[in-house]
């Protein structure tokens, strides 16, 4: 009697359901496969992060007495697909049982049906797909704010009995300030690549030369210990200012006061509960104000859980809608960053350099342009899925399809997040270095965001903006 226990690349958590009742004699299977590394041309830092973190996680499991069968990408016997690798492992071990934790993506869940595995719930989230569906049942509108209040009550985070601490659920009116000129955000913490990461970097450089993004400098943590260090740094150095400057953008600084932990969270090196607890503790100690802590916890307890619930509730049909009938191809500058629109050049440049851009860059710069210019949702979604280190379809798709592009016709957002150049000018220093003027609506100096927002509908589709 032995069990084959499958762990995927975004399931790098010691408490994972498929590892939980491990006994000696069982085998943990981890697979690097061509299918996963190429289903989109992932940013090269994302590939290094995931493969290196997988290798470190396998070592950590071995160190704790687990038997791990780890199939490397360049293993000559590697068939290149999850399903064929599981079959090969079943032939090697003839286990009496195969267990897996439910995957993050619809695509992989469909594959998993062919593995003959017992599929256990992924209980690393606050909510389950079933509890979200129960919340959504009979509601005309699925607004995040109401879901979030229920999650606060359920988790007990920032609660004073039945009431929210501070007497309010949401402190956003204190947030969203523009960045003062003399602000001095802390430097992002970098983690020097060690031997395993350097080996993976060589592999990625050799095998994926045509993938998006800079491979170096690579500064991501690849272990739980490193991810915890990054979390510590955020809590002590950035969280106090997180709320105030959450929506600000600054040329040459992609990170500002953001946590930059989404990749660690999404691959399982950190759990949402421990992150929210750490933030709440900082508030209890008086180290961070409530507007910052509430704003931060809302992103994880509210938005992240809501997005996941919506994904599993609405897939697979969700991905197919195109409410605004947007059909334009993705302009080339999304790949090169070469455009005279400075805000786009900066947001795309940050993305190329770091496999990261913060929420407002994604929503109000690259997303806003895609919405206003009527870019094809499928092409835009593929872009977001491959360019960010934290991108997995369950979280990328609702954010792009629903929040940024309004392609779901309002399932998620009550109205499209469309904004003019004035908004970008207010929240950033991008416009000062741009050949367009954020206050101008017509003529050669008109900011393209204004032009697109206010262009008469009969002219739409006949402009030259996409060549800029
Ligand atoms: P912080 O600003 O420090 O926020 C803290 C945490 O809250 C994040 O780490 C993240 O886990 C969570 N969070 C915040 N906003 C959201 C949100 N809208 N949805 C889900 N979680 C959220 N996030 C991803 O994790 N993966 C994606 O593929 C992704 N694609 C996006 C695409 C678009 C078009 C947009 C508008 C947003 C997308 N987001 C995605 C959400 C958000 O932009 C990132 O989670 C955030 O920028 C990550 O940076 P951070 O860790 O510094 O976050
Ligand atoms: C994203 C990714 C990549 C690039 N490579 C692998 C891999 O080689 N092996 C693996 O187990 N997982 C990988 N992943 C993460 C998977 O795509 C992820 O598990 C699914 O997206 C979850 O549904
Ligand atoms: Fe972007 Fe318009 Fe500002 Fe130029 S003027 S940076 S295009 S918002």
Domain of residue 89, CATH code? 3.40.50.620
Mean predicted confidence (pLDDT) in 461-466? 46
Strand partners, 4: 27, 98
Higher-scoring residue by pLDDT: 464, 262 = 262
pLDDT digits (tens, 9 = 90+) for 143-202: 999 999 999 999 999 999 999 999 999 998 877 899 998 899 999 899 999 999 999 999
Distance 111 CA to ligand 3 centre (A): 44
Is 191 within a domain?
yes
Instruction: Retrieve residue 181's tokens.
Output: 């000129």
Of 103, 120, 137, the residue at which a domain comes to its end is 120
Distance 169 CA to ligand 1 centre (A): 20
> Do 307 and 337 fall within a single domain?
no
How many distinct structural domains can be found in the chain?
A: 3
Query: Residue 74's closest CA among 46, 50, 51, 40?
Result: 51
Is 434 within a domain?
yes
pLDDT of 120 higher than 60: yes
What local confidence, expressed as pLDDT, does residue 460 receive?
58
Q: How far is CA 446 from CA 22, 28, 193, 438, 450, in A?
A: 63, 59, 45, 7, 7
Phi then psi dihedrals of residue 100, to 5 deg: -140, 155
pLDDT digits (tens, 9 = 90+) for 416-452: 989 999 999 999 999 999 999 999 998 899 999 998 9
Higher-scoring residue by pLDDT: 453, 122 = 122
Is 328 within a domain?
no
Instruction: Retrieve residue 249's tokens.
Output: 């953008």
pLDDT of 242 higher than 60: yes
What local confidence, expressed as pLDDT, does residue 277 receive?
98
Distance 304 CA to ligand 1 centre (A): 8
Task: Compute the CA torsion angle 223, 229, 235, 236 (nearest 10 deg).
Answer: -170
Is 320 within a domain?
no
Is 438 within a domain?
yes
Provide the percentage of residues in the chain whose pLDDT is more than 90.
92
pLDDT digits (tens, 9 = 90+) for 306-335: 999 999 999 999 999 999 999 999 999 999
> Do 463 and 375 fall within a single domain?
yes
What local confidence, expressed as pLDDT, does residue 466 receive?
42
> Do 37 and 107 fall within a single domain?
yes
pLDDT of 236 higher than 50: yes
* CATH number of the domain within which 347 lies: 1.10.579.10
What local confidence, expressed as pLDDT, does residue 173 receive?
83
> Do 198 and 72 fall within a single domain?
no
Question: Does ligand 3 have an atom closer than 6 angstroms to the CB of 447?
Answer: yes
pTM to 2 decimal places: 0.96
> Do 242 and 343 fall within a single domain?
no
Q: How far is CA 32 from CA 322, 328, 406, in A?
A: 34, 35, 35
**Average pLDDT over all residues of the chain:** 95
Question: Does ligand 3 have an atom closer than 6 angstroms to the CB of 268?
Answer: no
pLDDT of 233 higher than 90: yes
What local confidence, expressed as pLDDT, does residue 172 receive?
87
Mean predicted confidence (pLDDT) in 121-150? 96
> Do 135 and 229 fall within a single domain?
yes
Residue of minimum CA distance from atom 16 in ligand 2? 9
**Range of the structural domain that residue 419 is part of:** 333-467
The dihedral through the CA atoms of 397, 403, 408, 411 has a sign that is: positive
pLDDT digits (tens, 9 = 90+) for 33-44: 999 999 999 999
Mean predicted confidence (pLDDT) in 196-217? 98
How many residues belong to the chain?
468
> Do 230 and 282 fall within a single domain?
yes
CA distance 233 to 228: 9
pLDDT digits (tens, 9 = 90+) for 42-88: 999 999 999 999 999 999 999 999 999 999 999 999 999 999 999 99
- Cβ neighbours, 10 Å, residue 197: 23
What local confidence, expressed as pLDDT, does residue 456 receive?
57
Q: At what angle do helices 305-314 and 129-136 cross, to 10 degrees?
A: 80
Mean predicted confidence (pLDDT) in 221-233? 98
Contact assessment for residue 400 and residue 381, using Cβ atoms and an 8 Å cutoff: yes
Is 325 within a domain?
no
Nearest atom of ligand 1 to the alpha carbon of 385:
28
Question: Does ligand 2 have an atom closer than 6 angstroms to the CB of 211?
Answer: no
What local confidence, expressed as pLDDT, does residue 244 receive?
93
Question: Does ligand 3 have an atom closer than 6 angstroms to the CB of 431?
Answer: yes
> Do 114 and 136 fall within a single domain?
no
Q: Where are the alpha helices (DSSP H) in 33-119?
A: 34-38, 44-63, 82-93, 106-112
Is 323 within a domain?
no
Of 71, 89, 120, the residue at which a domain comes to its end is 120
Of 96, 120, 144, the residue at which a domain comes to its end is 120
Mean predicted confidence (pLDDT) in 91-118? 97
Substitution site in 259, 297, 299 for ligand 1 pocket (most atoms within 8 Å of beta carbon): 299
What local confidence, expressed as pLDDT, does residue 222 receive?
98
What local confidence, expressed as pLDDT, does residue 468 receive?
41
CA distance 75 to 181: 53
């Amino acid at each position: 009697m032995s069990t084959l226990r499958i762990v995927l690349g975004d399931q790098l958590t010691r408490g994972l359901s498929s590892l939980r009742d491990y006994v000696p004699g069982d085998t943990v299977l981890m697979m690097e496969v061509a299918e996963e590394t190429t289903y989109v041309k992932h940013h090269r830092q994302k590939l290094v992060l995931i493969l290196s973190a997988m290798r470190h996680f396998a070592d950590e499991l071995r160190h704790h007495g687990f038997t791990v069968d780890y199939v490397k990408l360049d293993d000559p016997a590697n068939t290149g697909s999850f399903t064929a690798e599981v079959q090969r492992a079943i032939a090697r071990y003839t286990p009496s049982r195969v267990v897996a934790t439910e995957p993050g993506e619809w695509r992989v869940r469909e594959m998993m049906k062919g593995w003959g595995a017992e599929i256990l719930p992924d209980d690393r989230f606050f909510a389950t797909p079933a509890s979200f569906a129960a919340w959504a049942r009979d509601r005309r509108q699925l607004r995040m704010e109401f879901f979030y209040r229920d999650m606060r009550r359920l988790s007990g985070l920032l609660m004073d009995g039945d009431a929210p601490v501070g007497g309010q659920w949401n402190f956003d009116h204190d947030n969203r300030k523009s960045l003062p000129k003399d602000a001095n955000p802390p430097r992002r913490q970098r983690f020097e690549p060690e031997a395993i990461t350097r080996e993976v970097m060589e592999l990625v450089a050799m095998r994926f030369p045509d993938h998006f993004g800079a491979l170096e400098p690579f500064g991501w943590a690849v272990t739980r210990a490193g991810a915890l260090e990054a979390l510590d740094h955020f809590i002590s150095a950035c969280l106090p200012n997180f709320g105030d400057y959450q929506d600000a953008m600054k040329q040459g600084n992609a990170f500002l006061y953001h946590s930059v932990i989404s990749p660690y969270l999404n691959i399982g090196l950190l759990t949402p509960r421990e992150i929210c607890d750490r933030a709440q503790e900082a508030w209890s100690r008086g180290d961070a104000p409530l507007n910052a802590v509430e704003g931060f916890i809302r992103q994880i307890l509210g938005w992240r859980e809501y997005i996941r619930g919506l994904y599993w509730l609405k897939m697979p049909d969700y991905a197919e809608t195109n409410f605004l009938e947007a059909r334009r191809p993705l302009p080339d500058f999304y790949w090169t960053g070469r455009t005279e629109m400075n805000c786009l050049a900066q947001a795309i440049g940050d993305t190329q350099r770091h496999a990261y851009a913060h929420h407002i860059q994604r929503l109000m710069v690259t997303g806003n342009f895609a919405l206003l210019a009527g870019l094809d949702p499928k092409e835009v979604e593929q872009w977001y899925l491959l360019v960010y280190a934290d991108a997995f379809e369950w979280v990328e798709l609702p954010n792009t399809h629903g929040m940024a592009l309004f392609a779901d016709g309002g399932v998620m957002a009550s109205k499209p997040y469309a904004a003019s150049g004035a908004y970008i000018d207010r929240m950033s220093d991008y416009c000062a270095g741009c050949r367009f003027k954020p206050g101008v609506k017509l003529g050669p100096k008109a900011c393209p965001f204004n032009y697109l927002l206010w262009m008469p509908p009969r002219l739409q589709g006949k402009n030259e903006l996409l060549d800029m």
